[in-house]
Amino acid sequence: MRDPFTILGVSREASDDDIKKAYRKLARENHPDKFTDPAERSKAEERMKEINSAYEEIQKIRSGKARDSYYENAHYNESSATGDDRYVAVRVHINARRVREAEAVLGSVPQNERGAEWYYLRGITLMMRGNIIDAGRCFDIACDRDPDNEEYRAAREQLRARTSAYTGGTYTTSAGCSDSFCDCLRICFCANMCIGGPCC
């Protein structure tokens, strides 16, 4: 199945009420009883199956009974940008979809040693948990601390590209970002899908 959030036309941060409204609207528009032509009715039945499946999948993701696998198909470079063995271990855990273990290693890093790579990897674990807002903040910090790192920029831009598809071309976070810096990141888009709790 395609990404269930895309099928319903909602963002991953959408409220349960907004998701329900989107589902009901699509169900009304695509209900097979609205169509008399057999071919159109058949298409509507298929579309309704997809809409119902997407809504059910989102409910499972929200309740913790299913994983948001659409964001869990990426593979990450297991070489640490800083050469830190702890970050190599985190990358191995991320690629094996062991989020808890990755978070445990990240949590063991003292606050004063948390540099750009720490925030980048924390952003990925947040994406794996579906926490897009905090993931975006972590990617912002990683890019601020190491603006020339293509891996970090790609993660941030991929997140922005995906969220802007849901919000009509805009992306906002509560983290500060100068216009020129954001424009630079938009230009430096690189295809490297990111996966994905708070940055600190």
Residues 160 and 139 in one domain: yes
Mean pLDDT lowest among 53-57, 81-85, 148-152: 81-85
Q: Is residue 15 very low, low, confident or very high in pLDDT (cuts 50, 70, 90)?
A: confident
Q: Which of 66, 83, 117 is the last residue of a domain?
A: 66
How much of the chain exceeds pLDDT 70, in percent?
72
Residues 9 and 48 in one domain: yes
Residue 122 lies in a domain: yes
Residues 156 and 91 in one domain: yes
Model pTM above 0.85: no
| pLDDT 10s digits, 103-128 | 999 999 999 999 999 999 999 999 88
Q: CA-CA distances (angstroms) from residue 162 to 42, 52, 153, 159?
A: 31, 22, 14, 5
Give residue 137's domain range: 71-187
Cβ-proximal residues to 71 (8 Å cutoff; 6+ apart), any chain? 127, 128, 130, 193, 194, 195, 196
Residues 77 and 175 in one domain: yes
| pLDDT 10s digits, 36-63 | 999 999 999 999 999 999 999 988 887 7
Residues 133 and 49 in one domain: no
Residues 23 and 116 in one domain: no
Token output for 59: 């409910």
